[in-house]
Amino acid sequence: MSILHASNIEKQFTEGRGESVAVLKGIDFSVERGEIVSLEGPSGSGKTTFLSILGCILTPTSGSVVVDGVHVEAKKLNEIRKRSLGFVFQQFNLFPSLTALENVEYALNVKGMRGSDARVEAQRVIDAVGLGDRQAFLPRDLSGGQKQRVAIARALAGSAPILLADEPTANLDSVVGTQVLEMFRDLAKKENRALVIVTHDPKVRAVADRVVRIHDGRLAA
């Protein structure tokens, strides 16, 4: 059974004049454990909206989503995000006053893990992304690639089976972007996690098992 499955997803937004605009138009989608999917499409095609629905940030207007065996309902969004999902954002979203290790540990605190358990898990994932020697650095003292590694460590922390990434290489140069993608691939395969990457970056295809394109709110053939 797929670790993440979306069926007949539609999403409409209401514009200023009260007019309804259809952003997603009947999307069926699934991901298996250990699979890396590159989700591509032009700006405005609905990629980020769809990722937000998969990540239980938005709810669809109609259709259903099953995350790690749990049918998504509005009242369950926060619980499912904490238990089953890890996010990597384009802008890193690190706390500037916290060290690399503390940024990861804080993410675990939000998920309900505290004390020595959180510190040990944060240390494990910081080491896994190759930042053991930078764990005490503040974000201002890290390069763009290192900040993205902290963001990835934060997503990995707590062993969420599904990782969702929104343009994770957009703020990185070509060399660092390739390194980050290779790390994504190695960690996803080693830890058997599903990974969905929304991207405009053609380099993502080199690490993806499958490429899915969205155009005008539908999956392209």
Instruction: Please count the CA atoms within 13 angstroms of the CA of 48 that sit on its side-chain side.
Output: 10
The Cα-based distances of 173 to 11, 50, 83, 109 in angstroms read 34, 26, 32, 32
Domain 4-219 sits in CATH at: 3.40.50.300
Question: Mutual orientation of helices 100-110 and 144-156 as an angle, nearest 10°?
Answer: 30
Q: Is the pLDDT of residue 204 over 70?
A: yes
Q: Give the span between the Cα atoms of 172 and 194, in whole angstroms.
A: 23
CA dihedral (80, 28, 185, 169) positive or negative: negative
Q: What are the pLDDT digits (tens) for 18-52?
A: 788 899 999 999 999 999 999 999 988 999 999 99
Burial level of 118, CB count in 10 A (0-12/13-18/19+)? buried
Q: What are the pLDDT digits (tens) for 161-186?
A: 999 999 888 888 888 888 889 988 98
pLDDT at position 19 is: 80
pLDDT at position 214 is: 95
- Per the CB < 8 A criterion, the answer to whether 60 and 24 are in contact is yes
